[in-house]
Structure 1
Amino acid sequence: MFPLQDTIPSRRIPFMNISIIILNTLVFLYELKLSPYEIELFFRVFGLVPEKFTYYKDLLSWGDYYPFLTNMFLHGGWAHFIGNMWTLWIFGDNVEDRMGHGRYLLFYVLCGVAASYTHYLVNMYSPVPALGASGAISGVMGAYMFLFPHSRIVFLVPLFFIPYFFEIPAFVYLLFWFLGQLASGTLSIFADSMGGGIAFWAHIGGFVAGVALYRLFVNSRFHRYCRECDDSPEAYYYRYRNYY
């Protein structure tokens, strides 16, 4: 089951969302050029290594806390990178549409930092670098869940090489996604093997931050999307034009 897109088109070009994706892409392409030793060092310098901020916090200045920000632009492989960027592409344009370019960037960064800090609080003694945009993207998903409650997500399921498309209400999909992250994150506290290398608590922290903060960043000049808007002929055309 693969998410393709949502059913609500944005009304403006999402310049900031595209710029964030481009920046992540440039950093990832740089990573691909590094040797195994260089990439390990790169991740330890710019990724979030929780134990460093626990054991050596008395020796650190404010300028040493940049990994709480820089880690959200690093990725550990193609699947990690593509999955995050595709999710950001699906949800980010509409959220930027409601917030405006500058507000969206600030919102994105704050959610990413909140995700990093949440991961740190739960894994204070971990020597493993945490990296990825998924914490910030989780904040975008949390905002989308309440800004566009009547939207739907179009999924693709290949059945015996025949593409099958169906829709799930975005609110339902995102709610169950969050509950799944919460359950997995709780289990990972009691059994390290349950984590599987996934920073569940970064996802949880970013999502909660997005839900808590999105109202502060919404541009009041643009009306809230409603069921009538979602069921308009324009939205109907946008929803089905690529599939039938």
Structure 2
Amino acid sequence: MFPIRDHNPSGRTPFVTYALIVANIGVFLSYWPLMQSDQQIMRFYFDWALIPALVSEGQGWGGFLTSMFLHGGWMHLLGNMLFLFIFGDNMEDEMGHVGFTLFYLAAGLGAGLIHYVSAPGSPVPTVGASGAIAGVMGGYLLLFPKAKVDILIILVIIFRIIPIPAWIMLGLWFAMQVFGGFGTAPDEGGVAYWAHVGGFAIGLALTLPLWLRLGGPAFWNRTEGHPPHPDAKYRLTRTNVPKVNRK
């Protein structure tokens, strides 16, 4: 199951969220041709990805920032951008454009640091915006726990979309990251689970002062755990294609 949309459009245009999506896509397209050669893409990742073993040697510190705009493939990129598109706009709406930019970068850098601490000797290049986006999800959980999120569930040949509260979807996602972190050696390749866990926790912690300033539990009571905007209404509409009866 994975989210496809929420029911809570932002109250103003989320310029930073859109800019981050464009930047990530643009950067990926700039080096995508290199992925046809394992040697070339690994050389590229050596220069720009986060490599914990390199950091332990006193090098590659810039990877903490640059790795946030790199991805390992189309599905990696599109999955991350979908999550950012769904959850980023409401966070930017509450934090403001500058505040959200700083928050996003701080969550991403913190997630990278947590990943490094979990596997300081790993030679595996780490790429992806998922640590920063996990921070966005952590903050979203604190501010809007009851926001509706549409989940696409796929069971073999059954496809169904159901709305569930954000706290269920995000809670399950976080639990899966913790489970994956304990079930996988930190220096192996694959998903950087502890970066996700760290980014989520950092995002929640960084959002706590804003939540308190908005009123804490009183903010939840005032908004019923939703973004303070009218819910979007989605419905299936009838097709305009005329029906042809069989003879």
Q: Output the TM-score relative to the length of structure 2.
A: 0.84
2:175 maps to which of 179, 201, 216: 179
Alpha-carbon distance, 1:175 to partner? 1.2
Alpha-carbon distance, 1:199 to partner? 0.2
The answer for the alignment partner of 1:19 in structure 2 is: 19
The answer for the alignment partner of 1:152 in structure 2 is: 148
Alpha-carbon distance, 1:42 to partner? 1.2
| Aligned-pair Cα RMSD in Å | 2.7
1-side partners of 2:148 and 2:17: how far apart?
A: 20
Note if 1:128 corresponds to 2:121.
no
Spell out, residue by residue over 1:198-235, the C-alpha distance to the aligned partner (whole angstroms, 9 max, x if none). 00010011001001111345796899461286698x41
The answer for the alignment partner of 1:143 in structure 2 is: 139
The answer for the alignment partner of 2:92 in structure 1 is: 96
Alpha-carbon distance, 1:132 to partner? 0.2
Aligned pairs (5 A) from 1:43-122: 43-54=45-56, 56-57=57-58, 60=59, 64-122=60-118
The answer for the alignment partner of 1:213 in structure 2 is: 206
Residues 106 and 228 (structure 1), Cα distance of their counterparts in 2 relative to 1, 3 Å cut = closer
Note if 1:227 corresponds to 2:228.
no
Alpha-carbon distance, 1:163 to partner? 5.0
Spell out, residue by residue over 1:17-40, the C-alpha distance to the aligned partner (whole angstroms, 9 max, x if none). 000000000110012122523221
- Determine helix, strand or coil for the equivalent of 1:135: helix
1-side partners of 2:22 and 2:9: how far apart?
A: 21
The answer for the alignment partner of 1:33 in structure 2 is: 33
2-side partners of 1:221 and 1:135: how far apart?
A: 26
Q: Which has the higher helix share?
A: 1
Contact 1:115 1:206 (8 Å CA) reproduced: yes
Alpha-carbon distance, 1:85 to partner? 0.5
Aligned residues: percent identity? 41
Alpha-carbon distance, 1:239 to partner? 3.2
Q: Which amino acid aligns with 2:204?
A: V
- Determine helix, strand or coil for the equivalent of 2:8: coil
What is the number of residues matched between the two proteins? Answer: 232
Q: Structure 2 stretches of 5 or more lacking a match?
A: 239-247
Q: Which amino acid aligns with 2:115?
A: H
1-side partners of 2:227 and 2:113: how far apart?
A: 36
2-side partners of 1:177 and 1:231: how far apart?
A: 24
- Determine helix, strand or coil for the equivalent of 1:109: helix
Q: Structure 1 stretches of 5 or more lacking a match?
A: none
Residues 2 and 188 (structure 1), Cα distance of their counterparts in 2 relative to 1, 3 Å cut = closer
Spell out, residue by residue over 1:154-174, the C-alpha distance to the aligned partner (whole angstroms, 9 max, x if none). 023367877532111101111
- Determine helix, strand or coil for the equivalent of 2:184: helix
2-side partners of 1:66 and 1:159: how far apart?
A: 42
Alpha-carbon distance, 1:7 to partner? 1.6
The structure with the larger Rg is 2
2-side partners of 1:163 and 1:187: how far apart?
A: 29
Note if 1:240 corresponds to 2:242.
no
Q: Which amino acid aligns with 2:178?
A: L
Residues 179 and 26 (structure 1), Cα distance of their counterparts in 2 relative to 1, 3 Å cut = same
Residues 117 and 157 (structure 1), Cα distance of their counterparts in 2 relative to 1, 3 Å cut = same
2-side partners of 1:108 and 1:184: how far apart?
A: 24
Residues 227 and 74 (structure 1), Cα distance of their counterparts in 2 relative to 1, 3 Å cut = same
